[in-house]
Structure 1
Amino acid sequence: MISDEQLLEQMAEGNQAAFEAFVHRYHAAIHQYVERLLKDSKKAEDIVQETFIRLIKQLQIKSIPTYPKAWLYRVASNLCRDFWRSAQYRTEGTAKDEMPISIDHKASVTEIYERQETRKEVLSSLGTLSQAQQQIVILRFYQDLKLKEIAEILDIPLGTVKSNLFHALKKLKGVLSKEMEKEAESNEGTSASERPRAISTRR
């Protein structure tokens, strides 16, 4: 398979087929990443389009990114950050405060992903994390990127990535533990209500 670098070289020469092949290779993954961060499919598509537009501009000045995949994610991440800082984001009232969370320290934090919790449940709890932690969790577990790649994409030290991931998993574990407790209590309540009642013999 032709490498990303080779495709970009051909794109820089004006090869339309190479551009279409590169977009096909990364459009879905970048869109999925951005949509999970913003929870807005339309805005996600806008950011994905802007990401590829910036790539084209980069190639027009004959500057080919050394690591194209990481470069794309970095640009998309920066565009998301710009949106979070924008007046549009604030006026839409989509900004969320970080929730205070009680953490279960007894079990390993890696169980958040290895145990019975599904990716869907984890995804629904991402809003409880800071924006930086959301990016790291999504890049690691949903985009299947290595920690070194994440550090490069977000332009932060590897140790910071590891620390944020550790604390993010602990927070998610606390949230999911609460949800499981609520579900268990709900099930117990249902079971109790469905039990046959003793027939009173009093008149």
Structure 2
Amino acid sequence: MMTAEVIETESHSSSFEAFVSYYHKPLLNYLERILHDPAKAEDIIQETFLKFLLQIKYKQTPDNVRAWLFRVATNLCRDYWRSAGYRREKQLLDQLPEQKDRCAQAAEFYERAETRMEMFQLLSELSEAHRKIIILRFYNDMKLQDIAAVMGCPVGTIKSRLFHALRYLKNRMEEEGRRGFG
């Protein structure tokens, strides 16, 4: 025989599972693009959802949940980049020799991967703020108001930064097109 408390707990559990499954993929895509480390992205997602649970348990549910989640994830990335652990990992990775993927045979796969790498290279040339705005807007399909909430600045600033970032990317793509990528 199930008690009302057990039924209520199961209901909350399944609601939270649905919530996590809804926001997990967009957060994962965003974090993988920012961190370039799928394992660390998963760690930060877990920490973000734990912070959300604490938020709704001890405080109140944020008005814009999606923006709140992305802002917390962004702040966790910032904390990670400032940590000594990150500096040690980066130092170790910089010392490793670069390895090439020899398994990729299909020309179409190679071209898509090459284009994606070229785009990541161009994105890496942007400032951190500009890169985040581009990723949130075009890879996560966020509205400018939500991006402003994530970034903690006015919508006008987001519009201006987006304009300048897109103009820079367009000019760089035109330059590379004339010279040929690579």
Pairing partner for 1:18 from 11, 15, 18: 15
**Shift of the alpha carbon at 1:88?**
2.9
CA, structure 1 residues 90+170, in 2 after alignment: closer, same or farther (shift >3 Å)? Answer: farther
Q: Deviations over 1:64-117 (max 9, x none)?
A: 11111111111111111222222333341589xxxxxxxxxxxxxxxxxxxxxx
CA, structure 1 residues 58+13, in 2 after alignment: closer, same or farther (shift >3 Å)? Answer: farther
Alpha-carbon distance in 2 for matches of 1:88, 1:177: 39
What does 1:20-169 align with in structure 2 at a 5 Å threshold?
20-91=17-88, 92-93=90-91, 120=116, 121-169=118-166
Preserved contact between residue 12 and residue 62 of structure 1 (Cα < 8 Å): no
CA, structure 1 residues 13+61, in 2 after alignment: closer, same or farther (shift >3 Å)? Answer: farther
Alpha-carbon distance in 2 for matches of 1:88, 1:154: 25
Q: Deviations over 1:110-131 (max 9, x none)?
A: xxxxxxxxx8353442111111
What does 1:184-199 align with in structure 2 at a 5 Å threshold?
none
Preserved contact between residue 30 and residue 48 of structure 1 (Cα < 8 Å): yes
Alpha-carbon distance in 1 for matches of 2:61, 2:142: 21
**Shift of the alpha carbon at 1:13?**
9.5
Q: Which has the larger helix fraction?
A: 2
- Residue 191 of structure 1 is matched in structure 2 by none
TM-score, normalised with respect to structure 1: 0.67
Q: Secondary structure at the match of 1:156?
A: coil
Alpha-carbon distance in 2 for matches of 1:62, 1:159: 30
**Shift of the alpha carbon at 1:171?**
2.1
**Shift of the alpha carbon at 1:167?**
1.7
Please, what is the CA RMSD of the aligned residues? 2.6
Alpha-carbon distance in 1 for matches of 2:171, 2:28: 29
Identity between Structure 1 and Structure 2 (%): 47
Unaligned runs of 5+ in 2: 1-7, 95-114
CA, structure 1 residues 88+171, in 2 after alignment: closer, same or farther (shift >3 Å)? Answer: farther
- Residue 179 of structure 1 is matched in structure 2 by 176
**Shift of the alpha carbon at 1:12?**
9.5
Preserved contact between residue 12 and residue 60 of structure 1 (Cα < 8 Å): no
CA, structure 1 residues 31+173, in 2 after alignment: closer, same or farther (shift >3 Å)? Answer: same
Q: Secondary structure at the match of 1:15?
A: helix
Alpha-carbon distance in 1 for matches of 2:173, 2:154: 29
Q: Which of structure 1's runs of 4+ aligned residues deviate more than 6 A? A: 11-14
Aligned residues: 152
TM-score, normalised with respect to structure 2: 0.74
Q: Deviations over 1:20-53 (max 9, x none)?
A: 0000101011010011011111111111111001
